[in-house]
Structure 1
């Protein structure tokens, strides 16, 4: 990935795409008062430079059905680089694991996992924690209610620039 200079319009485009990546190029161009070809060129440049990793659809958990979200703290017996890398390499490919963080202080990892039910969690725990002799402690917390979920990353947008979040929070 190449390094590029980012200006306020690039930051505004990134922020707007975080809110709704399905916006048309024409709509984005009009919103930020730039030509459609310029907008397309900027978004392509941001994608090629790695500012936009991927675009995904965020599904409605109500439509998908009952799901159980677990916040899981994992402590390992050995914390050398090889042991940490090995644990991470084993848990990250698992479809139930949505997020994996190495943390400090406290546990070595915090995982966010989504499963259908408690038997699904037990299967996850067996797969990822029980068969690993290096896992010392696992502490799981189960979500009763999701009060907020976002994938948006805060960006340093100038206060003088039109805010993409202000209009959407009022609707």
Structure 2
């Protein structure tokens, strides 16, 4: 099976909907809801993981409960867009624990970042280290998230 959506069976799609909702769901619960045997669910989950349809499994942590009460959307424009410079920026963002998401985008900015910080002082220190000290960052704009109305990485299947 490939990553192509046409290759996903109705059982695969049911499994994906269930585990996106709750990755800790037991096999017997998935089997009952998906209308398949436990053995089928085990086999299909293994294949979905091996084929890269399921990229990983994670736990959602409430940022405020661990002192990361502020969320920021940062649009970054780089001076140059050579592949080595783009890759270096991607690696730096991937290595930074306060950057939750990093997207290479089209339009006026080159990257869109979702960042977390304890407060404005912590955010200032973060952007100083990541953006102001980077000679290839031409400019960036920040929006402070006022309300986390929906937070999800779920994919409609």
What's the TM-score once normalised by structure 2's chain length?
A: 0.91
Q: Output the CA distance in 2 between the equivalents of 1:128 and 1:59.
A: 24
CA contact (8 A) 2:27 2:38 kept: yes
Q: Output the CA distance in 2 between the equivalents of 1:98 and 1:104.
A: 20
Q: Output the CA distance in 2 between the equivalents of 1:86 and 1:101.
A: 14
Structure 2 vs 1, CA of residues 66 and 126 (structure 1 numbering), >3 Å: closer, same or farther? closer
- Other-structure match for 2:117: 115
TM-superposition CA deviations, 1:35-66 (whole Å, max 9, x none): 11111111111112111111111123453345
* 1:63 counterpart (62, 65, 69): 65
Q: Output the CA distance in 2 between the equivalents of 1:59 and 1:34.
A: 31
User: What SS class does the counterpart of residue 70 from structure 1 fall into?
Assistant: strand
TM-superposition CA deviations, 1:91-130 (whole Å, max 9, x none): 2210000000111111011100001111111111111111
Write the mapping of 1:1-171 to structure 2, written as runs, cut at 5 A.
3=2, 5-65=7-67, 67-155=69-157
User: What SS class does the counterpart of residue 142 from structure 2 fall into?
Assistant: strand
User: What SS class does the counterpart of residue 75 from structure 1 fall into?
Assistant: strand
Q: Structure 1: any 5+ residue segments left out of the alignment?
A: 156-171
User: What SS class does the counterpart of residue 92 from structure 1 fall into?
Assistant: helix
Q: Output the CA distance in 1 between the equivalents of 2:68 and 2:74.
A: 19
Q: Structure 2: any 5+ residue segments left out of the alignment?
A: none
- Size of the aligned set, in residue pairs, is 154
Higher normalized contact order (CA 8 Å, seq sep 6+, divided by chain length): 1
Q: Output the CA distance in 1 between the equivalents of 2:54 and 2:85.
A: 31
